[in-house]
Amino acid sequence: MTQDELKALVGQAALQYVVGGEIVGVGTGSTVNKFIDALATIKSSIPGAVSSSVASTERLKALGIPVFDANDVGEIAVYIDGADEIDARGNMIKGGGAALTREKIVAAQSRRFICIADESKLVEALGRFPVPVEVIPMASQRVIRQFQAMGGQARVRLKDGQPLVTDNGQHILDVSGLSITEPLQFESDVNQWPGVVTVGVFAHQKAAVCLLGTTSGVKTLAF
Ligand code: 5RP
């Protein structure tokens, strides 16, 4: 099975977690795109979605799924999103698609985080995938030095040779060389640094369930 097929498999499997009559939280990325396509087949059973990015909003709307502003809805029953890495306790690295800040906001507003991922994303310890960190541009170099002081190498993410600008008008640093043995502490610490908008470690908003696409089918991990 190709990686694309594994993504489609978990995107489809996530439909079982969508609560009829309730708004669903929708993440961002190629795996979530498969979920959005599957969601379109049951769209009449839900009022709509709260989205974590401009890209997901456009895809949802194109498929006729209404998109609500997070401020106009209360608690969301489930949030469905992918991950760049997930460990055996449900902690994740996210932000490969630069949507980490809105992803964390919608995840925090939701009762349960259902992670959908192919099996390549399951790791023993977080940190092989460079940790995305959304920063206020004027703080970039200072935050890069702070990561250097803790043994990491951070660089500004580029797009077409220029710093990538997020949906929130900020920049992304990708930080490699970190060993994240205490994800909760790491997330809390880095979030305190001046100029950091969001760190892409999701330990405070970790997954409740992970639907893992494997060559032998969907494996469900509950945390
Ligand atoms: C976007 C994310 C994505 O969930 C993550 O990058 C996984 O993406 P994909 O499903 O394309 O592998 O955090 O900011």
Q: How do strand 92-93 and strand 131-135 relate by DSSP bridges? A: unpaired
Whether 132 is in the pocket of ligand 1, judged by its Cβ within 6 Å, is no
Mean pLDDT, residues 184-200 taken together? 98
The model's pLDDT over 103-132, given as tens digits with 9 standing for 90+, comes to: 999 999 999 999 999 999 999 999 999 999
Whether 27 is in the pocket of ligand 1, judged by its Cβ within 6 Å, is yes
Output the pLDDT for position 7: 97
Q: Please state, in angstroms and as integers, the Cα–Cα distance from residue 216 to each residue in 102, 119, 152, following that order.
A: 33, 11, 37
Q: Are residues 94 and 153 in the same domain?
A: no
Residue nearest to atom 10 of ligand 1 (CA): 31
Q: Residue 185 pLDDT > 90, yes or no?
A: yes
Q: Are residues 111 and 139 in the same domain?
A: no
Q: Are residues 10 and 83 in the same domain?
A: yes
Q: Are residues 27 and 72 in the same domain?
A: yes
Q: Are residues 10 and 99 in the same domain?
A: yes
Q: Are residues 118 and 210 in the same domain?
A: yes
Q: Residue 187 pLDDT > 90, yes or no?
A: yes
Q: Are residues 62 and 21 in the same domain?
A: yes
**Other residues' Cβ atoms within 10 Å of the Cβ of residue 145:** 10
Q: Residue 92 pLDDT > 90, yes or no?
A: yes
Task: Supply the DSSP symbol for 22.
Answer: S
Question: Hey, which residues are catalytic here?
Answer: 103
Q: What percent of the chain has pLDDT over 70?
A: 100
Q: Where are the beta strands (DSSP E) in the chain?
A: 24-26, 49-51, 67-68, 76-81, 85-86, 92-93, 110-118, 131-135, 153-156, 158-159, 162-163, 171-176, 196-199, 201-202, 209-214, 217-222
- Listed in sequence order, the residues at least 6 apart from 75 whose beta carbon sits closer than 8 Å to its beta carbon are 109, 110, 111
Output the pLDDT for position 196: 98
Ligand 1 centre distance from Cα of residue 99 (Å): 8
CATH number, domain with residue 15: 3.40.50.1360
Alpha-carbon span 24 to 148, nearest angstrom? 39
Helix (H, G, I), strand (E, B) or coil at 86: strand
Whether 166 is in the pocket of ligand 1, judged by its Cβ within 6 Å, is no
> Using an 8 Å Cβ cutoff, are 125 and 181 in contact?
yes
Mean pLDDT, residues 42-64 taken together? 98
Output the pLDDT for position 14: 98
- What pTM does this model have? 0.97
Q: Are residues 89 and 181 in the same domain?
A: no
Q: Are residues 48 and 93 in the same domain?
A: yes
Output the pLDDT for position 40: 98
CATH number, domain with residue 185: 3.30.70.260
Residue nearest to atom 6 of ligand 1 (CA): 96
> Using an 8 Å Cβ cutoff, are 70 and 104 in contact?
no
Whether 99 is in the pocket of ligand 1, judged by its Cβ within 6 Å, is yes
Whether 95 is in the pocket of ligand 1, judged by its Cβ within 6 Å, is yes
Q: Which of 9, 10, 31, 157 maximizes ligand 1 atoms within 8 Å of its Cβ, making it the mutation to test the pocket?
A: 31
Q: Which residues pair with 156 in a beta bridge?
A: 173
- Tell me how many domains the chain contains: 2
* Location of structure tokens 């669903």: 24
Q: Are residues 118 and 141 in the same domain?
A: no
Output the pLDDT for position 179: 86
Handedness of CA 137, 141, 147, 153 (dihedral sign): positive
Output the pLDDT for position 80: 98
Q: Are residues 118 and 168 in the same domain?
A: no
Tokens found for residue 53: 């990015």
Q: Residue 161 pLDDT > 90, yes or no?
A: yes
Q: Are residues 30 and 99 in the same domain?
A: yes
Mean pLDDT of all residues in the chain? 97
Whether 31 is in the pocket of ligand 1, judged by its Cβ within 6 Å, is yes
Output the pLDDT for position 204: 98
Residue nearest to atom 4 of ligand 1 (CA): 82
Nearest atom of ligand 1 to the alpha carbon of 82 = 4
Helix (H) or strand (E) holding 55: helix 54-62
Output the pLDDT for position 181: 93
Domain carrying residue 152? 131-195
